[in-house]
Structure 1
Amino acid sequence: MQPEPTGRVIRTGTESYDLILHRGFPEPAAAVWPSFTNPDQTAQWFGRWERSPVRGGTVDLQLLFEEGLPWSRVRIAECVSPELLRLLVEDEYGGWDLEIRLRNEPAGTALDFIHHLEDPQAVSSIGPGWEYYLDHLMAARSGGPAPDFKDYFPSQEAYFAAQAEAAADSPDPA
């Protein structure tokens, strides 16, 4: 079964865009927070990391579901438990600015996963990856089967390319 893409791309400035993906959890934010901040839990759906995380500090992250198991350096730009985590990721391909926002709602927790971008065209390949990883997070938290990346890419590429084009054509909000 092909999962439906949920991400949206919005223009946030002259040369800035956000890829935003949403997920919901039945638990409160404090219970979901360790999925992003506890190395044993992040290893279940994304990657393992080493070093002590502190705001302004760095950790080394190994992506466990990517070919070659690559490492990235991650700077913790903001950390407000259990609401906000902003990470600046550097690897051999460049840098990524990621934001994880959790908020309690009557039914549990709402997650907004935001990838800040300068080039919206990058989402045609990045978007399917984040859909896969966030569905992998959902499976890890629920005990369900892990998704298969082949169900996300290249099938979601056209959807995200259309999102990027619409965002690039939208008026500058400034």
Structure 2
Amino acid sequence: MMTAKPTGHYVLKADGLYLQFDRLFHAPIEDVWFSLTNPNAMKGWIGTYTGSPSTGGVRFQMSEEGAEWMNVSILECRAPHSFTADSGSGPTGVRVFCHLVEGGGMTTLTLGQRMKDASEAASIGPGWDFYLDRLAASRSGAELPVWESYYPGFSPHYRELTVPSTAKG
């Protein structure tokens, strides 16, 4: 059993501030892509979806008890390398991206969520650490981590993260 630790960090992108996470898998890129995009494989770690992603939209439901179905717009998809998606719209909308890179028998997953402001990180950061550790556990057959190992214990780490400067050096 692994000991959970907070792994997120901030990255400034052209469209805003993102809280970003990296995970490394001993697997081919197509295999990791399947875990991120196949509705049955997703059930093991985050939730599932209905609909056809090729239409540009699906309905997604997280696996937590009582989670509502939500509309997700797929803004960009380059299988098996990356996708960008928005769930919800307006002030409650969320943008998430996943990028995959394969090399030396390993695949690196980089996942990021755009932040409305840095105060959100105290709740969003522990959630993504939790789900990404669930992804790793579900892929390896390990015991799934429990939420209480992540929240509220990781919140101080995310409250204390420094937002990168926008100044050009």
| TM exceeding 0.5 | yes
Residue segments in structure 2 that go unaligned for 5+ positions in a row:
none
The offset of 1:39, in angstroms, is 0.4
| Count of matched residue positions in the alignment of Structure 1 and Structure 2 | 167
- Following the alignment from structure 1 to structure 2, what is the Cα–Cα distance between the partners of residues 93 and 133? 23
State the AA in 1 paired with 2:8. Answer: G
- Following the alignment from structure 1 to structure 2, what is the Cα–Cα distance between the partners of residues 83 and 173? 31
State the AA in 2 paired with 1:120. Answer: A
3 and 91 in structure 1: CA distance in 2 versus 1, 3 angstrom threshold:
farther
Q: Which residue of 1 aligns with 2:135?
A: 137
TM-score normalised to the size of structure 1? 0.89
- Following the alignment from structure 1 to structure 2, what is the Cα–Cα distance between the partners of residues 139 and 149? 14
Match status 1:125 vs 2:123? yes
Decide whether the 8 Å contact of 1:86 with 1:98 is kept in 2: yes
118 and 92 in structure 1: CA distance in 2 versus 1, 3 angstrom threshold:
closer
Residue segments in structure 1 that go unaligned for 5+ positions in a row:
none
**Equivalent position SS for 1:54:** helix
How far does the alpha carbon of each residue in 1:36-60 deviate from its partner, in whole angstroms, 9 at most, with x for none?
11100111111111111116x2111
The offset of 1:91, in angstroms, is 7.3
TM-score normalised to the size of structure 2? 0.91
- Following the alignment from structure 1 to structure 2, what is the Cα–Cα distance between the partners of residues 147 and 28? 24
For the aligned residues, what is the CA RMSD? Answer: 2.0
Decide whether the 8 Å contact of 1:25 with 1:109 is kept in 2: yes
173 and 110 in structure 1: CA distance in 2 versus 1, 3 angstrom threshold:
farther
Q: Which residue of 1 aligns with 2:62?
A: 63
